[in-house]
């Protein structure tokens, strides 16, 4: 059951800030043992909402394997959201030309994507026979319908207006996706930053409809070739390029592992969401994240 804003405010009020001195006094009073008595809600649960999280696994079948499928999907949703959070923070930093400040959230995002990829291991046991025990109960439910994954794609510059359509009957979700679609992606902000720093970037690339897909730009590729030619320790743009490359690489890993998981559990069957399944995933992988960064490596 979802908590209301008032309930969340009450729960937050039960988290009592403490100082180092107070923690030391409590440890002395407890003789080094953990505190076992609390007058109100456990502070850990008030902060993490663990009891709420563990109430969200509502399977559709009695098959025990479905719990893995459901929970791994939920874990991935959390990682999608966490990665988006970091990429938005990096984007804000870049808008103010704070390249150095953008590196920390980008590096964290790369690590979160590693965690996202590791989640696939929890489903390696699943064979077609295992999946078929509950697959039909999913109806038309599909990971294709993940709004947070679309946010992640849009932030990475993989824009597609048609992919917002499934969310029209969820007004708030739809509005947020439309806003994300129309906003400059992280890569758009990187390109704008290069222009402000004197790189030769075409004006039409900077002033355009950000909801539309854009072809790789040779001038952006050339700018990155020049940036990488300076191997000095103070070249923060080069560090930015490497942090972005890591994110693109880890995101490609996730897409590849998704394809492998689909092939392992359902072969070439059509997807539950109406797509061609593995064939559709292969085509979607052709859309490259940060393409000029990869093209620059050919010209270096």
Task: Report the pLDDT averaged over residues 63-75.
Answer: 97
Task: Report the pLDDT averaged over residues 46-66.
Answer: 95
Check whether 11 has a pLDDT greater than 80: no
Least confident of 15-24, 66-75, 111-120, 212-221: 15-24
Check whether 261 has a pLDDT greater than 50: yes
Choose between 104 and 17: higher pLDDT: 104
pLDDT for position 49:
92
Is 236 part of any known ligand binding site? no
Check whether 101 has a pLDDT greater than 80: yes
Q: Find out whether 68 and 41 touch, Cβ atoms under 8 Å.
A: no
pLDDT for position 9:
53
pLDDT for position 3:
59
Is 245 part of any known ligand binding site? no
How far, in whole angstroms, is CA 4 from its chain's centroid? 26
Q: Find out whether 103 and 239 touch, Cβ atoms under 8 Å.
A: yes
Task: Report the pLDDT averaged over residues 32-40.
Answer: 86
- What pLDDT band is residue 5 in, cutting at 50, 70 and 90? low
Q: How many whole angstroms separate alpha carbon 199 and alpha carbon 218?
A: 12
- What pLDDT band is residue 4 in, cutting at 50, 70 and 90? low
pLDDT for position 1:
46
Most distant pair of Cα atoms in the chain: their distance: 68
Task: Report the pLDDT averaged over residues 28-57.
Answer: 90
In the chain, DSSP finds a helix count (H) and a strand count (E) of 15, 0
Is 127 part of any known ligand binding site? no
pLDDT for position 89:
98
Tell me the per-residue pLDDT of 132-179, one tens digit each, with 9 for 90 and over.
999 999 988 888 899 999 999 999 999 999 999 999 999 999 999 999
- What are the DSSP calls for 99-141, one per residue? HHHHHHHHHHHHHHHHHHHHGGGGGTT--HHHHHTTGGGGTT-
- What pLDDT band is residue 8 in, cutting at 50, 70 and 90? low
Check whether 215 has a pLDDT greater than 50: yes
Domains and CATH numbers, the chain: 67-266+275-299 (1.20.58.480)
pLDDT for position 133:
95
- For the chain, the average pLDDT equals 92
């Amino acid at each position: 059951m979802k908590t209301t804003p008032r309930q969340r405010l009450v729960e937050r009020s039960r988290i009592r800030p403490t100082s180092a001195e107070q923690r030391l006094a409590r440890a002395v009073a407890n003789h080094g043992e953990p505190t076992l008595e609390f007058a109100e809600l456990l502070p850990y649960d008030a902060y993490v909402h663990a009891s709420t999280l563990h109430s969200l696994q509502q399977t559709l079948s009695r098959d025990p394997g479905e719990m893995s499928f459901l929970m791994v999907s939920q874990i991935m949703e959390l990682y999608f959201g966490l990665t988006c959070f970091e990429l938005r923070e990096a984007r804000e930093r870049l808008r103010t030309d704070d390249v150095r400040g953008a590196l920390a959230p980008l590096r964290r995002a790369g690590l979160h994507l590693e965690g996202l990829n590791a989640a696939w291991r929890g489903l390696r046991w699943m064979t077609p026979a295992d999946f078929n025990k509950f697959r039909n109960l999913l109806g038309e439910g599909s990971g294709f319908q993940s709004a947070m994954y679309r946010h992640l794609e849009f932030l990475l510059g993989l824009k597609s207006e048609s992919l917002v359509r499934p969310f029209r009957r969820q007004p708030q979700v739809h509005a947020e996706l439309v806003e994300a679609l129309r906003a400059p992606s992280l890569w758009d902000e990187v390109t704008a930053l290069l222009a402000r720093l004197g790189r030769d970037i075409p004006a039409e690339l900077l002033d355009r409809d950000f909801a539309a897909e854009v072809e790789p730009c040779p001038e952006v590729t050339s700018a990155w070739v020049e940036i990488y030619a300076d191997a000095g320790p103070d070249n923060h743009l080069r560090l930015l390029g490497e942090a972005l490359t890591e994110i693109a690489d880890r995101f490609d890993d996730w897409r590849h592992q998704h394809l492998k998981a689909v092939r392992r559990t359902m072969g070439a069957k059509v997807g539950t969401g109406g797509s061609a399944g593995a064939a559709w995933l292969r085509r979607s992988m052709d859309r490259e994240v940060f393409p000029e960064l990869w093209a620059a490596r050919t010209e270096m």
